[in-house]
């Protein structure tokens, strides 16, 4: 039953991330998945029925450059606020407190 799953997520989810995008309720994520599936299975094929495929080399190149930059930024953030500062290199328990280091790690961990 989906309502049982939603109640579980809302009851045991981390309260400090409730203000993050798509984290206040799973219904927004469900709606996004349903809209995506409708688009790729119904709307997209109808739109492209009598068209040639798009040339996506340039958008894919830009996308890859952005992902490399984002990965570098995330590595820097994990290193600066986590691995070399407050957290160990081995497994450690999750810090659910609201101290500054834990909040910074959870802020960029959402990516």
Residues 32 and 65 in one domain: no
pLDDT higher than 80, residue 15:
no
Q: Residues 48, 82: one domain?
A: no
pLDDT digits (tens, 9 = 90+) for 96-107: 777 777 777 666
**Structural domain range at position 76:** 56-110
What whole-number distance in Å separates Cα of residue 6 and Cα of residue 10? 6
Query: 73 and 45 in one domain?
Result: no
Number of domains in the chain: 2
d(C-alpha 21, C-alpha 109), whole Å? 13
Shared-domain flag, residues 70 and 43: no
Condensed to tens digits (0 to 9), the pLDDT of residues 18-70 reads 777 887 778 888 899 999 999 999 999 999 999 999 999 999 999 999 999 99
Cβ neighbors of 32 (< 8 A, separation 6 or more) are 22
What is the rounded distance in angstroms from the CA atom of residue 31 to the CA atom of residue 39?
12
One domain for residues 72 and 84: yes
Kindly state whether residues 46 and 62 are assigned to the same domain: no
Residues 11 and 24 in one domain: yes
Predicted confidence at residue 108, as pLDDT, reads 67
């Amino acid at each position: 039953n989906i309502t049982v799953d939603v109640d579980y997520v809302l009851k045991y989810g981390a309260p400090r991330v409730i203000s993050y995008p798509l984290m206040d309720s799973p219904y927004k994520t469900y709606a996004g998945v349903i809209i995506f599936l409708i688009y790729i299975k119904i709307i997209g094929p109808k739109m492209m029925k009598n068209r040639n495929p798009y040339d996506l080399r340039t958008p894919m190149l830009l996308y890859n450059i952005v992902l490399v930059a984002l990965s570098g930024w995330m590595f820097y953030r994990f290193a600066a606020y986590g691995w070399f500062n407050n957290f160990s290199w081995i497994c450690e328990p999750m810090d659910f407190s609201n101290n500054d280091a834990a909040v910074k790690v959870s802020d960029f961990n959402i990516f």
